[in-house]
Amino acid sequence: MSAKPTELGQVISDVAHAEGGTTKGSQSAQMQSELSKQQNFNEAASNVGSKLDAAPESITKEDAQAVHRAESRLQSQQPPSGSISSQAQHQAAVNEGATATTTTSGSTRTNAAPVDPNVQSQLDRQANYEDAASKVGGKLVNEPGNVTKEEADLLHSREQRAFGVTEKGGLASQAQHQVAENEGVTTFRSTITPSNPTSQSQMDRQANYEDVANKVGGKLANEPENITKADADLLHSREHRALGHTEKGGLAAQAQHQVAENTKP
**pLDDT tens across the length of the chain (265 residues):** 444 445 667 777 777 788 787 777 778 777 777 878 888 888 988 998 898 888 889 998 888 888 888 887 777 666 776 788 888 888 888 887 644 443 333 444 444 344 556 556 767 777 788 888 888 888 887 888 888 989 988 888 887 777 766 666 778 888 888 888 887 754 444 443 444 555 557 777 777 877 887 788 778 777 888 889 998 899 888 888 877 777 777 778 888 888 998 888 7
Amino acid type, 160: Q
Beta bridge partners, 104, equal: 107
CA distance 174 to 156: 10
Which pLDDT score is estimated for 200? 58
Predicted local confidence at residue 107, as pLDDT: 41
Residues facing 110 on adjacent strands: 101
* Residue closest to 168 by CA, chosen among 31, 28, 40, 2: 40
Question: CB within 8 A of 76, min separation 6: which ones?
Answer: 137, 140, 141, 174
* Dihedral sign, Cα of residue 11, residue 223, residue 27, residue 42: positive
Instruction: Give the C-alpha separation, 66 to 64, whole Å.
Output: 5
Beta carbons within 10 angstroms of residue 92's beta carbon: 19
Give the amino acid at 126.
Q
The maximal CA–CA distance of the chain, rounded, in angstroms, is 74
Distance from chain centroid for Cα 124: 24
- 3-class secondary structure, 109: strand
pTM of full prediction above 0.85: no
